[in-house]
């Protein structure tokens, strides 16, 4: 018979286990599922390493800070503040954000309102009384006041006479100066000078009289014109009515001033987002910050960079901004400011402290509720694009 030989490996494979091996069996080989999991995990780890290397070798990484165009509104009065918005709300231009009321001036305001009403009532009574008296004196006034045409003729004559007197006055002054010179030379006497002086004084008196008469005639002309148009003489209490009107206007101005000191409406000067608002239903003092508004689409990132990178950056280059939450926002470089004496107002990394000679401003293309003033962010600027751009240029 033919004898079959069994190899040593087969004998080891099919032999019965020893008691020690039964208690501590050897580890089994990994299954296919475990092998697949390990391969996938290794692949993702490899990809992660590549991403880290890409960021390290193909992008510039800097520390930046969020800034924005903002407006701060302060209180001009003290009082109780009532807010109509909350932090994070968006407001349109002209929207009322809140109101400050000072109740200590309410009594003064009410007193001024009553004073204005009283003055208006007195004015109406005076107007009625003046109209009644004007009707009674209508006939006498009509007889006393000449027609506008005749008064105009008299005014014209007076003006001509006034012009003539002024001319004579200048001539007399000229003659007087000449006589004074002749007196110093002995060709004239004091009598001549005194005579000219008396004539000049008489002329000045006549001039003053004509000016007074001219003023009277002009007032008479106004009355005549008013009477010819309305058929009724002007109100005899017109000066008093004018005085009351002045008092009313002054009281109104005082009332408006008190109102402005007792109530302050807070309005949005432009479309914006509320970043701070004073607590509602609280007492606010004069000069305190009421609200802080961030202008819509005005968020920007300020980044301080080394001088060696400054030459590789151009306006319009893209940048990625990473927020502390991990969100990535896109932006463009809109400003580049070289500055050899730069002192960043915020903390930067140890590598960035070596050679910070430039400042750039990145305008964000999108915004979100996570953005706020002075938020530290990480900025990535692609190196590869910059180098390609330099070589092509």
- The DSSP secondary structure of 214-240, one letter per residue, reads HHHHHHHHHHHHHHHHHSSPPPTTHHH
Give me the mean pLDDT over the 336-340 stretch: 74
pLDDT confidence of residue 216? 83
Give me the mean pLDDT over the 22-33 stretch: 54
CA distance 272 to 187: 91
CA distance 108 to 121: 20
Whether residue 226 is found in the same domain as residue 212 = yes
Domain tally for the chain?
Answer: 3
Does 112 map to a domain?
no
Structure tokens at 289: 């910050």
The answer, yes or no, to whether residue 301 has pLDDT greater than 60, is yes
The answer, yes or no, to whether residue 172 has pLDDT greater than 50, is yes
Domain that includes residue 167, residue range: 138-230
Q: Count CB atoms within 10 A of the CB of residue 121.
A: 10
Whether residue 277 is found in the same domain as residue 248 = yes
Whether residue 306 is found in the same domain as residue 251 = no
CA distance 51 to 59: 11
pLDDT confidence of residue 339? 67
Does 314 map to a domain?
yes
CA distance 106 to 231: 47
Does 312 map to a domain?
yes
Does 326 map to a domain?
yes
Task: Please identify, among 230, 252, 278, the residue that sits at the C-terminal boundary of a domain.
Answer: 230
Whether residue 215 is found in the same domain as residue 356 = no
Band of the pLDDT at 378, cuts 50, 70, 90?
Answer: confident
Lowest mean pLDDT among 47-56, 119-128, 268-277, 377-386: 47-56
Structure tokens at 141: 């006034």
Tell me the backbone φ, ψ of residue 66, rounded to 5 degrees. -80, 130
pLDDT confidence of residue 2? 45
Structure tokens at 321: 């901004």
Provide the whole-model pTM: 0.44
Q: Given the DSSP bridges, would you call strands 59-67 and 376-382 parallel, antiparallel or unpaired?
A: antiparallel
Give me the mean pLDDT over the 17-38 stretch: 58
CA distance 386 to 360: 15
Lowest mean pLDDT among 182-186, 315-319, 360-364: 182-186
State what percent of residues in the chain have pLDDT above 90.
1
More confident: 196 or 230: 196
CATH number of the domain to which 293 belongs:
2.40.50.100
Q: What is the pLDDT of residues 60-97, one digit of tens each?
A: 788 888 888 888 889 888 888 998 888 888 888 889 88
Computed over every residue of the chain, the mean pLDDT equals: 76
State what percent of residues in the chain have pLDDT above 70.
73
The answer, yes or no, to whether residue 352 has pLDDT greater than 60, is no
CA distance 267 to 273: 13
pLDDT confidence of residue 386? 44
Q: What is the pLDDT of residues 121-154, one digit of tens each?
A: 888 888 787 767 666 555 444 444 566 777 788 8
Give me the mean pLDDT over the 220-229 stretch: 71
Whether residue 314 is found in the same domain as residue 381 = yes
DSSP bridge partners of 382 = 59
The answer, yes or no, to whether residue 281 has pLDDT greater than 80, is yes
Does 46 map to a domain?
no
Whether residue 303 is found in the same domain as residue 263 = no
Band of the pLDDT at 19, cuts 50, 70, 90?
Answer: low
């Amino acid at each position: 018979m033919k004898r079959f030989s069994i190899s040593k490996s087969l004998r080891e494979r099919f032999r019965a286990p020893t008691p020690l091996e039964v208690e501590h069996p050897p580890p089994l080989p990994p299954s296919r599922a475990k092998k697949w999991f390990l391969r996938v995990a290794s692949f993702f780890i490899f990809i992660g390493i590549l991403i880290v290397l890409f960021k390290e070798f193909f992008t510039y990484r800097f520390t930046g800070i969020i800034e924005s165009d903002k407006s701060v509104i302060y209180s001009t009065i003290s009082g109780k503040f009532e807010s109509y918005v909350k932090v994070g709300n968006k407001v349109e231009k002209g929207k009322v954000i809140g109101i400050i009321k000072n109740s200590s001036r309410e009594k003064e305001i009410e007193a001024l309102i009553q004073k204005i009403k009283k003055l208006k009532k007195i004015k109406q009574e005076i107007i009625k009384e003046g109209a009644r008296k004007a009707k009674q004196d209508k006939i006498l006034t009509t007889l006393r006041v000449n027609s506008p045409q005749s008064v105009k003729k008299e005014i014209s004559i007076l003006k001509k006479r006034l012009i003539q007197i002024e001319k004579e006055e200048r001539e007399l002054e000229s003659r007087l100066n000449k006589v004074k010179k002749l007196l110093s030379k002995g060709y004239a006497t004091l009598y001549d000078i005194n005579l000219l002086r008396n004539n000049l004084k008489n002329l000045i008196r006549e001039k003053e009289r004509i000016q007074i008469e001219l003023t009277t005639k002009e007032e008479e002309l106004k009355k005549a014109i008013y009477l010819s148009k309305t058929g009724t003489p002007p109100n005899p209490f017109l000066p008093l009515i004018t005085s009351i009107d002045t008092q009313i206007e002054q009281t109104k101005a005082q009332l408006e001033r008190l109102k402005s000191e007792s109530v302050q409406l807070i309005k949005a000067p432009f479309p914006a987002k509320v970043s701070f608002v004073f607590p509602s239903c609280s007492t606010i003092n004069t000069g305190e910050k009421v609200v802080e508004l961030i202008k819509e689409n005005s968020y920007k990132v300020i980044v301080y960079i080394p001088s060696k990178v400054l030459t590789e950056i151009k306006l319009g280059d893209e940048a990625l901004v990473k927020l502390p939450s991990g969100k990535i926002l896109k932006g463009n470089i809109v400003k580049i400011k070289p500055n050899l004496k730069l002192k960043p107002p915020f903390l930067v990394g140890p590598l960035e402290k070596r050679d910070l000679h430039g400042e750039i401003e990145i305008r964000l293309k999108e915004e979100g509720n996570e953005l706020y003033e002075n938020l530290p962010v990480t900025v990535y600027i692609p190196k590869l694009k910059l180098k390609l751009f330099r070589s092509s240029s």
